[in-house]
Amino acid sequence: MASIRHHHAPVIEIAGGVDTHLDTHTAAVIDLVGRVLGTAQFPADTAGYAALLAWMQGFGSVVRVGVEGTGAYGAGLARLLDAQQIRIVEIDRPDRKTRRFQGKSDPIDAIAAAKTALARTRTGTPKHRDGRIEALRNLRVARRSAIDQRADVQRQIKSLIVTAADELRRRLRGLSVTALITTCAALRPDRADAATPMTATKIALRSLARRHQQLSLEITDLDELLAPLVAAINPTLIAVHGVGTDTAGQLLITAGENHDRLRSEAAFAMLCGTAPIPASSGKTQRHRLNRGGDRQANAALYRVVLCRLRHDPRTRAYAEKRSTEGLSKKEIIRCLKRYIARELYQIITTNQPQPTT
């Protein structure tokens, strides 16, 4: 009896792209020469993520998947793909010129994401969202919101005082912020007389002052959680001169849990917006200010520079030297931010986090 040989079709390699939204994700699959094999839409939930991956794998072996918004609408999908050891790349939104020529729709954006992932242009490795740095990011979101709201409340209080009656304005003007909040929170207006401007102003000031106090308590509570968490993640970083809990927390979030995705200290500097952008042409060789990157990280490095300019003799000596060479204060600060980014990158990427108990 002759033996029967089964010939199996070779498994082709494919690339995927996903355009993410709040309720649905649109996926596209292309082969390695860029031909579109299919597009489909899936719900943005756990079952939808699994169905999307199974649909892609039905076309062949998934080499990589480009996802828009891995830190927002695509976070859940990115976690599932990472758990399945599927290579994920973060896709930048197509520029306006490309969209003007190609049009705009979810399938078009998904196909563009797949082609970008395949070509590896303007892509990056997304951050992991399942570690202590993600917990740190969530706590800092609440803290930053409370700080912004408290500043708004403080401005509103001062605005009301400007237009208040003379008697009340004389009583409150000139007080420090702490004394002003305490005084306004202790006001005892007659609620039955709320129709008069004086009483209404006192009621408003008391309400805003008490809100300010509540927000201050929230910030204090969050700080009590953030300080030990940052110290546990990277104790070496917060020991650096000029780096406190707030600055260290922001830089850790910028680098991410999987900081090995940063290829070099130059890549970290570019991520923080401290690497100058080449702007040369012909015989003219120059660089321009980098206004991109993570502006919160850029601001954190700026605070480190200011602290060292005030208290670090080496930094002051460097600033004086560059000043004699003709650099302005702004240019000196930009140079210092670049150097500090290089220094802190080494600490962030080489420090071993303390084990959790």
Residues 306 and 341 in one domain: yes
Residue 75 makes CB contacts below 8 A (sequence gap 6+) with 69, 129
Distance linking the first and last C-alpha atoms of the chain: 66
Provide mean pLDDT across the span 74-97: 85
The answer to whether the beta carbons of residues 204 and 159 sit under 8 Å apart is: no
- Inside any domain, residue 6: no
- Inside any domain, residue 5: no
Residues 206 and 249 in one domain: no
**Amino acid in position 235:** P
Considering 233, 265, 298, which residue would you say is the last residue of a domain? 233
Report the C-alpha gap between 273 and 341 in whole angstroms: 10
> What's the pLDDT band for 98 if we cut at 50, 70, 90?
low
* 260 pLDDT above the threshold of 80: yes
- Inside any domain, residue 2: no
Looking at residue 6, its pLDDT comes to 45
By C-alpha distance, which of 293, 305, 290, 288 is closest to 344? 305
Provide mean pLDDT across the span 40-62: 95
Report the C-alpha gap between 224 and 212 in whole angstroms: 19
> What's the pLDDT band for 354 if we cut at 50, 70, 90?
very low
By C-alpha distance, which of 13, 56, 36 is closest to 111? 36
Residues 227 and 244 in one domain: no
Report the C-alpha gap between 58 and 46 in whole angstroms: 19
- Inside any domain, residue 357: no
> What's the pLDDT band for 178 if we cut at 50, 70, 90?
very high
Considering 124, 147, 165, which residue would you say is the last residue of a domain? 124
Most confident of 20-29, 252-261, 286-295: 20-29
Q: For residue range 324-342, what is the model confidence (pLDDT) as tens digits?
A: 999 899 999 999 999 999 9
Q: For residue range 181-218, what is the model confidence (pLDDT) as tens digits?
A: 999 999 999 888 888 989 999 999 999 999 999 999 99
Looking at residue 10, its pLDDT comes to 63
Residues 88 and 170 in one domain: no
Q: What is the pTM of this model?
A: 0.80
Residues 67 and 167 in one domain: no
Residues 203 and 253 in one domain: no
Considering 233, 252, 270, which residue would you say is the last residue of a domain? 233
Report the C-alpha gap between 194 and 190 in whole angstroms: 7
Residues 307 and 333 in one domain: yes
Of 17-21, 105-109, 279-283, the poorest mean pLDDT is in: 279-283
Summary mean pLDDT of the chain: 89
The answer to whether the beta carbons of residues 84 and 53 sit under 8 Å apart is: yes
* 103 pLDDT above the threshold of 80: no
Residues 92 and 142 in one domain: no
- Inside any domain, residue 356: no
What is residue 164's DSSP assignment? S
Residues 269 and 213 in one domain: no
Report the C-alpha gap between 332 and 316 in whole angstroms: 11
Report the C-alpha gap between 237 and 233 in whole angstroms: 9
- Inside any domain, residue 144: yes
Looking at residue 255, its pLDDT comes to 92
From residue 291, alpha-carbon distances to 120, 141, 252, 272, 299 in Å are 24, 23, 21, 10, 12
List the beta bridge partners of residue 26.
Answer: 19, 41
> What's the pLDDT band for 127 if we cut at 50, 70, 90?
confident
Provide mean pLDDT across the span 90-101: 68
What are the backbone dihedrals phi and psi of residue 173, each rounded to the nearest 5 degrees, phi first? Answer: -65, 140
Of 8-17, 155-164, 278-287, 344-353, the poorest mean pLDDT is in: 278-287
- Inside any domain, residue 3: no
171 three-state secondary structure: helix
Residues 180 and 105 in one domain: no
Looking at residue 97, its pLDDT comes to 61
Residue 36 makes CB contacts below 8 A (sequence gap 6+) with 28, 29, 30, 111
> What's the pLDDT band for 143 if we cut at 50, 70, 90?
very high
Residues 267 and 184 in one domain: no
Domain coverage including residue 62 = 13-124
Residues 247 and 337 in one domain: yes
Looking at residue 229, its pLDDT comes to 96
Q: How many domains does the chain have?
A: 3
Provide mean pLDDT across the span 66-90: 90
Q: For residue range 279-317, what is the model confidence (pLDDT) as tens digits?
A: 777 777 777 788 888 999 999 999 999 999 999 999 999
- Inside any domain, residue 1: no
Residue owning tokens 């079709």? 9
